[in-house]
Amino acid sequence: MLIRKLWLKDFRSYEQLQTSFADGTCVVLGPNGVGKSNLIEAICYAGQLESFRMAPGDALVRRGCDSAIVRAEFLRDGREALVEAEISRT
């Protein structure tokens, strides 16, 4: 299964993010604290509907917000699948 696109709203450190991924290996680089692990966590959440850190849902919502949205487009066996999840603080 390949991830093609990812959209985030109020997920952890991301107010908003929209990005796409090229075929093949993807490397995420950057200094400490810029959100690399949060990006990977969002991808994992879209695929499994749980945090790989085993964090409760409200910990995934950006501070000061009531909810977060994770939307991802995957490609598997030549078919596209769109996954969208809203995570509520309550």
Alpha carbon distance 69, 24 (integer Å): 26
Q: What pLDDT shows up at residue 80?
A: 95
Over range 1-8, report the average pLDDT: 95
Domain boundaries, the chain: 2-88
pTM of the predicted model, to two decimals? Answer: 0.89
Angle at 78 between CA 77 and CA 83, to 5 degrees: 85
23 pLDDT tier (thresholds 50, 70, 90): confident
Task: Domain 2-88: give its CATH code.
Answer: 3.40.50.300
> Beta strands of the chain (E only): which ranges?
2-11, 14-20, 67-76, 79-88
Residue 58 pLDDT class (50, 70, 90 cuts):
confident
Q: Select from 22, 19, 17, 2 the least CA-distant residue to 78.
A: 2
